Amino acid sequence: MKVNGQLNIAKTKEEPVSVPQLLEDYRVVVFSDEDLAALKKALEETFFSGAYALLYFVGKGCGERSYRRLSQLYSDRQALVDACISLKERERWGSFRCEIVEDGTGTIRVENCFEARGYGNSKEPACYFLKGYLEGFLGSVFQRQLKVTETSCFAKGDRECIFESRPEQRVATVERFNTK
């Protein structure tokens, strides 16, 4: 389903991509939910809270790359977001509902989130990769720094993972000069 080396989302919306077709069209690595959770937990055991930063920054880079690929096919913000959601749902990342306004402020709800499904019980939100992915993709779509926060997580026992997006507030710094 590639056209000139690019995924043709418009065509795949009409004809859903099957997992075997994804494996044929792309070089992919498939992890079960349990294997992904084991990988994350091994990172946490080895790197402690550094694992969260690692997963977040890898996710952010993946989101930015997804934007670059999809923006070659779509220039409209809504079309870009819709295409990304369609693709990620076919890749079984979960079921997405997005409500985002023009400045990037909004809510992204993910039922059956891939990152939380096999993780087990957690006291904290566990979707660091997806948080970074959303921040990278949406920040690129809206051409501004966005801050994404996970406010509910399936791994915590919540019904779904909920992410809040908002423009990052930059704190102005004032330099003091000694006039003596």
| Per-residue model confidence as pLDDT tens digits over 133-147 | 999 999 999 999 999
Q: Whole-angstrom Cα distance, residue 81 to residue 138?
A: 8
- Binned at pLDDT 50, 70 and 90, residue 92 comes out as very high
- Binned at pLDDT 50, 70 and 90, residue 9 comes out as very low
117-140 mean pLDDT: 96
Contact 148, 138 (CB under 8 A): yes
pLDDT in tens, 43-76: 999 999 999 999 999 999 999 999 999 999 998 9
125 sits in the region (left: phi over 0; alpha: psi -120 to 50; else beta) called beta
Q: Whole-angstrom Cα distance, residue 135 to residue 60?
A: 6
pLDDT in tens, 152-161: 999 999 999 9
Q: What is the pLDDT of residue 15?
A: 44
Q: Whole-angstrom Cα distance, residue 178 to residue 32?
A: 60
Instruction: List, in order of start, the domains of the chain with CATH numbers.
Output: 2-167 (3.30.1380.20)
Measuring CA to CA, how many Å separate 53 from each of 81, 86, 87, 129, 168? 25, 27, 25, 9, 18
- With a cut of 60, say whether residue 102 has pLDDT above it: yes
pTM above 0.85, yes or no: no
Q: What is the pLDDT of residue 20?
A: 58
Q: What is the pLDDT of residue 27?
A: 75
- With a cut of 60, say whether residue 4 has pLDDT above it: no
- With a cut of 80, say whether residue 114 has pLDDT above it: yes
> How many Cα neighbours within 13 Å face the side chain of 60?
14
Concatenated DSSP letters for 13-66?
A: HHSPPPHHHHHHHS------HHHHHHHHHHHHHHHTTHHHHHHHHHHHHHHHHH
